[in-house]
Structure 1
Amino acid sequence: MKHLLIPALIALLSLTSAVRGEEGKLEVNGLAFKFATPWAEIQSTGMFRAGTLSAKVEGAEKPVEAVFYSFPGPGGGGDIEANVKRWLGQFQGTPESKREELAAGDKKITLVTATGTYNDGPPMGAKTPRENYTLIAAIVPAGESNIFVKLTGPKDAISKLAEDFKKIVLSPFAK
């Protein structure tokens, strides 16, 4: 009976931690990104995916994912302008968009928000048009390369997560 008590206590403590919204941490390229409920880390699959956070949010049929990408070598993944252009090009026509530079200590994080008909799908595969979708993406400096973080989903759902997303991408630089 004793051997069942300890695992049960550990499970109970884990559950109460999640309910209280304690922070988790996702490490990518030496940076620690902090997150709290409704975010949870899930297994990442696919090339260059360095981490994935998932959140269940009202307005989305399924959980949305913030995917962290890391590419090897100096300048891996391309420069800021090429990535902004590529993200905006994932929409049909010209999306409603905004670009911001977020101060993170002595670093700057580029944040792009775009809304419109998003062409959802793998980079080299068939695409499914998703009307009224929003993309929020960040370029986070990390040594000789950058970390690219991308969140897409229904506009209403993503708008509920926008401030959390900003906090997550700024968190490695918070004092």
Structure 2
Amino acid sequence: MSSTRSARLLLASLFLAGASAHAEQAVTLLGLGSSIPDAWQLETPSSDMRLLQSAIPAADGDAAAFVVFYFGPEQGGTLEANVERWQSQFQGPEGTAVEPRISEIGTAALPATLVELRGSYGRSVGMGPGGDMLPDRMLLAAVVETPEGTLYPQLHGPAMLVAEQRDAFIAFVRGLQPAATPRP
């Protein structure tokens, strides 16, 4: 067997071994491609503002949700306004404020900021908690600047489950790049 063919077989087997251990599914939105873990079950987006939506199942049935919001060019508000709104939906012990952890996770081509919050969470569209406060929740929210406008990927749910999926969330954001166009 030729060394080129041996190398190709080795690469293919390594790819397949890696795929079975860390299988991912490709996703495309706004002309950008990335991937999410196969365990994240894709769903039909529940509104026109959601480009992508999936559930992350948990053994106890308390799933997390992954959503990518897009409101249009120059829409969706500033980073500061979004951080303030997300923070207002969380409470710490005895109703105290929860301080966000903010870091830069983007690339030179697509700047992105990650906001992390953990505590009791009352998810809502506007300021303040909406509905019942659920204990020990976590939100990972990114603000990704693209040529088409800002993307707002979010992962929220039980704190332990979201924390376990943090690396996959960051990999999705960092993996965003122009999608390959099919050849004619």
Rg bigger for which structure? 2
Map of 1:96-175 to 2, 5 A cutoff?
96-121=99-124, 123=126, 126-173=130-177
Contact 2:39 2:56 in 1 (8 A): yes
The alpha-carbon deviation at position 69 of structure 1 amounts to 0.5
Instruction: Normalising by structure 1, report the TM-score.
Output: 0.77
Q: Report the alpha carbon displacement of residue 107 of structure 1 after superposing the two structures with TM.
A: 3.0
- Name the structure 1 match of 2:51: 50
TM superposition shift of 1:26: 2.1
Aligned length: 155
Q: Following the alignment from structure 1 to structure 2, what is the Cα–Cα distance between the partners of residues 19 and 57?
A: 20
Aligned mates of 2:106, 2:79 — CA distance in 1: 16
Runs of 4 or more above 2 Å deviation: 18-23, 60-63, 120-126
Label 1:169 to 1:140 Cα distance change in 2 as closer, same or farther (>3 A): same
TM-score (norm 2): 0.74
Secondary structure of 2:176's match?
helix
Q: CA RMSD in A?
A: 2.5
Which amino acid counterpart does residue 152 of structure 2 have in structure 1? F
Asked whether the 8 Å contact 2:87–2:99 carries over to 1, the reply is no
- Aligned partners of 1:144, 1:57: CA distance in 2, in Å? 34
Q: Which runs of 5+ in 2 are unaligned?
A: 1-18, 179-184
Greater strand content: 1
Amino acid at match of 1:172: L
